[in-house]
Structure 1
Amino acid sequence: MTGAIGAAVQVIVVAVGSPLLVGVMRQVRARLEGRAGAGIWQPWRDLRKLMRKEPITPHGTGWVFRAAPLLLAGTALVVAAVVPLVTTASPLDGVADLFAVTALLALGSVALALGGLDTGTAFGGMGASREMTVLALVEPTILVSVFALSIRVGSTSLGAIVTATVEDPLAVISPASVLAAVALVIVTIAETGRIPVDNPSTHLELTMIHEAMVLEYAGPDLALIEWASAMRLSVLLGLLASLFFPLGIATAGTGMLALLLSVIVLVLKVAVLGVLLALGEVFMAKLRLFRVPELLAGSFLLALLAVAASFFLA
């Protein structure tokens, strides 16, 4: 029962807290840039405003355009339910496999790219092409880097990997874990469209990737996309914290008090990672588009080195 409650709490925390995380990151950037900022609640105000608007569908688009926001938000919610963020004793732990979670993330990205292509506009096709280029390098890196962590556990279940780390915290202090952590940090930035890979606050046609695919969306559809993007950011940061710093995460046999403590610790860890990411964005410049594959190829090489280190140093 505690595991089922933990899975439900994960979804609620991610769904409610993700826009707040984006608001915190924007506020940190604003303060460092000498601006007052709109406040951490502004993303929720934006979502409320968008939900009240009339949905508009461009002429010539089909069901792919309309289904993309729903599929993106649905996959984000499913991943939030199965990934071990609050507890490792979830009844959904059996489906929290590395390959299944990566496939769900890829499915959401592909759905949004198809929605951009369905508009028939130059910006939609350009953004979809760039998104698929990034996706082709990001998803294999996620698989390989987490696979490096699964070698010592003997399972690709994310719950089993996190449980093994909870039982042996010093296992993360190894060359394989360090290489995998660096690779995952890079692909998390790329997957969520943050600087230096992409800039979520710009609409310059020469630089935008994610924003180019959503230019034709409006109203509730755009609200779903923005909400889902925030959830994906929260889930990936939470997964990063669970894999390499699972302090406070509830395990099998723990009670409700431990579950409550785990929720508080998760919020703090994700908030700290979000603030660090915002700090990095202030002091880094966006890479040229043609340099992005080089960065992602470097992260894939680090993931391969992590796998090699896991075999040779085991």
Structure 2
Amino acid sequence: MTAQGLLGAGVQLVLVVAGAPLLVGLMRQVRARLEGRAGAGVGQPWRDVRKLFGKDPVTPRGTSEVFRAAPLVTVATTVAVVAVVPFVSTSTVPEPGADLFVVVALLTAGAVATALAGLDTGTAFGGMGASRAITILALVEPTLLVAVLALSVRVGSTDIADIVSATLADPARVTSPAGVLAAAGLALAIVAETGRLPVDNPSTHLELTMVHEAMVLEYAGPDLALVELASAMRLTVFLGLWSTLFLPWGVATGTGVAELALGAVLIVVKIAVLGAALAAAEVFVAKLRLFRVPELLAGSFLLTVLAVVAALVPA
């Protein structure tokens, strides 16, 4: 990679790490306004993270290194994804490239680390949350992998930079049946993976509905700050990945300063718009019963299978 390529990768890291809590704050603010509330402000998640980093760490009795390492593993895997996915420019991707299967595996590793931490506490809530999270993960992963296959069939590569470059060269791919079906299936999978409505409600702590919150109840201080930061970063990465794959316009193909600046601005705008749209949709959606979630995820899997079939059919 060139120096400018490294600069682009660094810009991506700064944007995601600094902007992820702001995205969560924006989504909360959108929901608050639509529900008739004033809201705490877009910057409140960053203030919460800063406050938590200033507290003393607390480790529950009986937990092992799994519990202590989980927040770092989740943050590290997410940062690794940010470093290789071409959010800003396809030229910032290091060799041998960002393979979509590897990206999915890294994001899954972070989710598994959090689930193991919930089990490591030995509490009823932790075990319940981990069980639910792994169940959802087992249903989401096939959808993600089949969506990858649907996107890579006609490109002949699972490298994200190659897929983005092919879409930029032929914009009709996005509106093709394969592209529309893959986008819809992947969107539903991302909603489930990030714990948003109707699969999970991130703004509640009711024991009957908790999934992610149940696994992290025992965290406090800097560890909780890392957990919250990692959760916000994962949401940002998934939204950024969806926009990069299906709305790639604005992604730079070079490493010029002007190109990188434009790409950075546009990816911020696209993620903010997607996050605001998701938050607005959540106001009008009720949470599904846990036993109905597999039906939703089966539908998303079917959409991606149909996307593969459509991609295999000659145009």
TM-score range, shorter chain: over 0.9
Amino acid at match of 2:106: L
What one-letter code is carried by the residue in structure 1 that aligns with 2:313?
A: F
Q: Within the alignment, does 1:255 sit opposite 2:256 as a pair? A: yes
Letter in 1 for 2:215: M
Cα drift, residue 55 of structure 1: 0.8
- Distance in 1 (alpha carbons) for counterparts of 2:245 and 2:101: 16
Aligned counterpart in structure 2 of residue 23 of structure 1, from 4, 25, 28: 25
Contact persistence 1:127–1:212 (CA under 8 A): yes
2:10 maps to a residue whose letter is A
Mapped pair 1:116 → 2:118: yes
- Is the 1:93–1:157 Cα contact (8 Å) retained in structure 2? no
Normalising to structure 2: TM-score of the pair?
Answer: 0.98
Q: State the alpha-carbon separation in 2 of the partners of residues 240 and 268 from structure 1.
A: 13
Task: Determine the structure 2 residue equivalent to 1:280.
Answer: 281
Amino acid at match of 2:38: A
Question: Which residue of structure 1 lines up, in the alignment, with residue 206 of structure 2?
Answer: 204
Q: 2:306 maps to which residue? A: 305
Q: TM-score, normalised by structure 1?
A: 0.98
Q: In the alignment, residue 279 of structure 1 is paired with which amino acid? A: A
CA distance in 1 between partners of 2:168 and 2:259 (Å): 14
Q: Specify the code of the residue in structure 1 equivalent to 2:157.
A: S
Question: 1:52 maps to which residue?
Answer: 54
Give, in angstroms, the shift of residue 33 of structure 1. 0.6
The Cα shift of 1:91 comes to 4.1
Matched, 1:159 2:161: yes
Q: How many aligned positions are there? A: 313
Distance across 1 between alignment mates of 2:20 and 2:142? 25
Instruction: Write out per-residue CA displacement over residues 232-266 of structure 1, whole angstroms, 9 at most, x where no aligned residue.
Output: 111111111111111111113x5110110110001
**What is residue 80 of structure 2 aligned with on the other side?**
78
Mapped to 1, the partners of 2:168 and 2:127 lie a distance apart of 44
Provide closer, same or farther for how the CA distance between residues 189 and 93 of structure 1 changes in structure 2, counting only shifts above 3 A.
farther
CA distance in 2, matches of 1:78, 1:67: 16
8 A contact 1:68–1:112 mirrored in 2: yes
| 2:130 paired residue number | 128
Distance 2:6 2:160 in 1: 17
Per-residue deviation at 1:205? Answer: 1.0
Q: Does structure 1 retain, via aligned residues, the 8 Å contact 2:22–2:42? A: yes
Secondary structure, aligned partner of 2:60: coil
Q: Report deviation, 1:143.
A: 1.2
Displacement after TM superposition at 1:313 (Å): 3.5
Return the offset for 1:93. 5.0
Deviation by residue 1:47-83 (Cα, 9 ceiling, x = unmatched): 0111111111111001000000000111111111111
Provide the C-alpha distance between the structure 1 equivalents of 2:93 and 2:122, rounded to a whole number of angstroms: 43
Q: Structure 1 vs Structure 2: percent identity of aligned residues?
A: 66
Query: Counterparts of 1:85-124 in structure 2 under 5 Å?
Result: 85-92=87-94, 94-124=96-126
Deviation at 1:3, TM superposition (A): 2.0
Partners of 2:196 and 2:286 lie apart in 1 by 11
Shift of 1:174: 0.5
Structure 2 CA distance for partners of 1:87 and 1:93, relative to 1, 3 Å: farther
Aligned position for 2:270:
269
Q: CA RMSD in A?
A: 1.0
* Aligned twin of 2:179: 177
Distance in 2, matches of 1:150 and 1:167, equals 15
Does the 8 Å CA contact 1:141/1:299 hold for their aligned counterparts? Answer: yes
2:63 to 61, 64, 89: 61
Q: Relative to 1, partners in 2 of residues 1:266 and 1:91: Cα closer, same or farther, differing over 3 Å?
A: closer
Q: Which residue of 2 aligns with 1:148?
A: 150
Return structure 1 stretches of 4+ with deviation > 4 angstroms.
none
Structure 1: runs of 5+ lacking an equivalent: none
1:95 shift after superposition: 4.0
Q: Deviations over 1:5-64 (max 9, x none)?
A: 111111110000000000000000000111111100000000011111111111100100
Cα distance in 2 for partners of 1:81, 1:286 equals 34
Q: Deviations over 1:218-238 (max 9, x none)?
A: 110111010011011111111
User: What displacement does 1:297 show?
Assistant: 1.1
Greater mean alpha carbon deviation, residues 161-170 or residues 59-68: 161-170
